[in-house]
Structure 1
Amino acid sequence: MCLGIPGQIIAISDPARQMGLAEISGVRREVSLAPVADRPLHRLVGEWVLIHVGFAMAIIDEAEAAATLEALRELGEAQEALDQMAEGDRALAASPAPAEGAV
């Protein structure tokens, strides 16, 4: 099953690669904004988007985002996905940084 989760774009992290930082129920993830980049990227900050496998697939309004998150919570799917994302973030934070000059 494909699961799209609403998140809010809170920053542009890499304009050259069309990447932004999205907050999804308190979890922050870098996502590709390329599918929704129909305007200057800075104008996407504050917008709600439907996120699937690291891509912002569609712009949605705040009411739709809230209703979707609530429905997903009721189904229990959102929490499982958010837990997996948070676990991935913790694993990345715990891994040592590569040595300078390493590839």
Structure 2
Amino acid sequence: MCLAVPLMIKEINENEAVAEREGVSRKIRVDFIKEPKVGDYVMVHAGFAIEKVSAEQAMEDLAAAAEVEQVLKEMYEEEMAKRSGGEKSA
């Protein structure tokens, strides 16, 4: 399974860029993106921007990822509570 996450380009230097999500920056490659610009949202997989997306699409994807993260967290907490014989904490 492949996973790409939306990041916003903050700086560009030739085929390298700095992109950000929720205040966390990372270096990425933009070799596959036609005319990348500061402010563009791109889907990033394995350190490479693979597709430009709209700001709206990026926000939708981030919201969906947050929902999945919340469900996984709840499942984990329930499993740990079962294993310890206790109740799930609120």
Normalization by structure 2: what TM-score? 0.72
CA distance in 2, matches of 1:70, 1:35: 25
CA distance in 2, matches of 1:64, 1:19: 23
User: Does residue 11 of structure 2 align to residue 11 of structure 1?
Assistant: yes
Q: Offset at 1:3? A: 1.0
Indicate the RMSD between aligned Cα atoms, in angstroms.
1.4
Tell me the CA shift for residue 72 of structure 1. Answer: 0.6
**Distance across 2 between alignment mates of 1:48 and 1:34:** 15
Work out the percentage of aligned pairs sharing the same amino acid.
31
Higher-Rg member (1/2): 2
Q: Which runs of 4+ in 1 moved over 3 A?
A: none
1:32-88 deviation digits (Å, cap 9, x = unpaired): 00010x22x5xx1110000111000100000000000000111019xxxxxxxxxxx
Gaps of 5+ in 1: 78-103
Unpaired runs of 5+ residues, structure 2, are: 71-90
